[in-house]
């Protein structure tokens, strides 16, 4: 089976490519640095020749509201059209748990547009919605930082390790199209403000997290359950302690 991973050089993409290759599948990592660009169309038709499955784990280079929306709209349109033309049999995309509840956020309006294009296309598909990656906790902390304080919502989160995301994505990639949305999450639930405080302490960062129910998460005010999955998500096995210990080890 030939599989193309769009965004195959990224955090999730590189782990997914490695795993699929280990399982014996011909897997091509595609990204602008590797000559494939879903915005300009460069290299797209060529890389998709004789491809059965495409996994889209690309991300917008800019998180500015309009730029994200344009990225996911243009990339989604170009990619789905090229897949149809090439006769691809299954399109998978990585999205975020709660995306449909987060339209107040510019970033999530981009993800909603990406999901809407997939559902409206003729491609058999699987949308995999993940919770926040442990690797993203630093970015979340930064988004709420002013001086030495970090203001964050105390809404619940259930973060997941990128390796668990890649393992789950590989399984869905090798399965039949779900023609719907599946959810994946980490093994433990915390309040976002507490999780980030714990992360900062582990990093020897002396900043203090202040829980604030009105603090916005990339533009959206959160209620308690907005970022956590519904019934029966697939759960990863790596918890925060294990993930953090592994970060300290040389690759
Ligand atoms: N962060 C989280 O907690 C979280 C949670 C759930 C879901 N997600 C989703 O997970 C996905 C992957 O995130 P990530 O952190 O692995 O991303 P990442 O490390 O930032 O990697 C992004 C990838 O997208 C590629 N890319 C950028 N522009 C492109 C273009 N025009 N054409 C083709 N590829 C392009 C990049 O290629 P170059 O390196 O060549 O530029 C890179 O390979 C995103 O869609 C995100 O919404 C994230």
* pLDDT for the residue numbered 73: 98
Residue 6, ligand 1, Cβ within 6 A? yes
Going by pLDDT thresholds of 50, 70 and 90, the confidence category of residue 250 is low
- Of all helices (H) and strands (E), which one includes residue 220? strand 220-221
Answer whether residue 36 shows pLDDT above 80: yes
**Tens digits of per-residue pLDDT, 68-88?**
999 999 999 999 999 999 999
**Tens digits of per-residue pLDDT, 142-168?**
999 999 999 999 999 999 999 999 999
Query: pTM, whole model, 2 decimals?
Result: 0.98
Checking 170-176 for CB contacts under 8 A at 24+ apart, the result is 170/16, 170/19, 170/20, 170/23, 172/92, 172/126, 172/128, 173/3, 173/16, 173/20, 173/53, 173/55, 173/90, 173/92, 174/1, 174/20, 174/23, 174/25, 175/126, 176/90
**Tens digits of per-residue pLDDT, 115-126?**
999 999 999 999
**Domains along the sequence of the chain with CATH:** 2-248 (3.40.50.720)
Residues whose CB falls within 8 Å of the CB of residue 251, separated by 6 or more in sequence, listed in order = none
Going by pLDDT thresholds of 50, 70 and 90, the confidence category of residue 248 is confident
pLDDT mean over 207-231: 98
Atom of ligand 1 nearest to the CA of 29: 43
Residue 209 β-bridge partners:
150
Residue 76, ligand 1, Cβ within 6 A? no
Asked if 160 and 125 touch (Cβ cutoff 8 Å), the reply is no
Residue 110, ligand 1, Cβ within 6 A? no
* pLDDT for the residue numbered 251: 56
């Amino acid at each position: 089976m030939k599989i193309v991973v769009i965004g195959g050089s990224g955090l999730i993409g590189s782990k997914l490519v490695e795993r699929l290759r280990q399982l014996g599948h011909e897997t091509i990592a595609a990204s602008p640095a590797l000559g494939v660009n879903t915005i300009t169309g460069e290299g797209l038709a060529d890389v998709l020749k004789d491809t059965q499955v495409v996994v889209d784990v690309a991300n917008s280079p800019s998180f500015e509201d309009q730029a994200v929306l344009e990225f996911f709209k243009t990339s989604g349109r170009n990619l789905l059209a090229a897949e149809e033309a090439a006769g691809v049999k299954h399109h998978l995309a990585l999205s975020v748990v709660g995306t449909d509840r987060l339209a107040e956020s510019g970033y999530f309006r981009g993800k909603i547009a990406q999901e809407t294009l997939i559902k409206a296309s003729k491609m058999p598909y699987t949308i995999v919605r993940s919770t926040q990656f442990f690797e993203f906790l630093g970015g979340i902390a930064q988004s709420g930082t002013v001086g030495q304080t970090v203001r964050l919502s105390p809404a619940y989160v259930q973060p997941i390790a990128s390796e668990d995301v890649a393992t789950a994505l590989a399984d869905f990639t090798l399965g039949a199209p779900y023609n719907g949305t599946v959810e994946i999450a980490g093994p433990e639930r915390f309040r976002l403000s507490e999780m980030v405080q714990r992360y900062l302490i582990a990093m020897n960062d002396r900043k203090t997290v202040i829980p604030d129910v009105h603090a916005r998460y990339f533009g959206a005010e959160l209620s308690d359950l907005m970022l956590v999955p519904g019934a029966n998500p697939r759960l990863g096995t790596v918890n925060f302690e294990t993930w953090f210990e592994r970060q300290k080890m040389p690759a």
